[in-house]
């Protein structure tokens, strides 16, 4: 998404830029920078999610209601997080991020 925003991939010239080797990309816009940061944050969150979910699985707790509720909270919060980050809504973005961390904590606490 960040590359598409940066290259204006919805235009013929931008589409050709996206098909190229991208050596001559236009300068990043603020929106493209936010998309890039949001993607990085999503990948970091996914690493934590996979770690606590693996711990729950190996502890035999993956089917517990608490793990499933925590996973659902994490999923929906992260789904809402990305467009909120792109829109630049700072306080709501932080609250949504915190909700996803609560989901991770729910999964981790089920393992204990």
Which pLDDT belongs to residue 18?
75
Assess contact for 99 and 79: CB atoms under 8 A. no
Identify the residue whose tokens are 């830029």: 17
Distance between CA atoms of residues 82 and 63, nearest Å:
27
Which pLDDT belongs to residue 11?
85
Cα 71 off chain centre by:
14
Q: Of the candidates 59, 103, 55, 50, which has an alpha carbon nearest to the alpha carbon of residue 78? A: 103
- Average pLDDT on 22-49 reads 86
pLDDT surpasses 80 at 23: no
- 43-97 confidence digits (pLDDT tens): 999 999 999 999 999 999 999 999 999 999 999 999 999 999 989 999 999 999 9
Which pLDDT belongs to residue 53?
95
Which tokens go with 17? 């830029």
Which pLDDT belongs to residue 35?
86
- 7-20 confidence digits (pLDDT tens): 778 888 788 877 87
């Amino acid at each position: 998404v960040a590359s598409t925003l940066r290259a204006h991939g919805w235009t013929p010239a931008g589409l050709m830029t996206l098909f190229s080797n991208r050596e001559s990309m236009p300068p990043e816009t603020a929106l493209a920078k936010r998309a890039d940061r949001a993607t990085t944050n999503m990948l970091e969150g996914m690493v934590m999610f996979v770690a606590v979910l693996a711990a729950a699985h190996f502890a035999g707790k993956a089917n517990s209601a608490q793990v499933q509720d925590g996973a659902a909270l994490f999923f929906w919060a992260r789904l809402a997080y990305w467009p909120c980050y792109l829109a630049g809504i700072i306080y709501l973005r932080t609250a949504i991020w915190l909700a996803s961390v609560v989901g991770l904590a729910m999964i981790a606490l089920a393992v204990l």
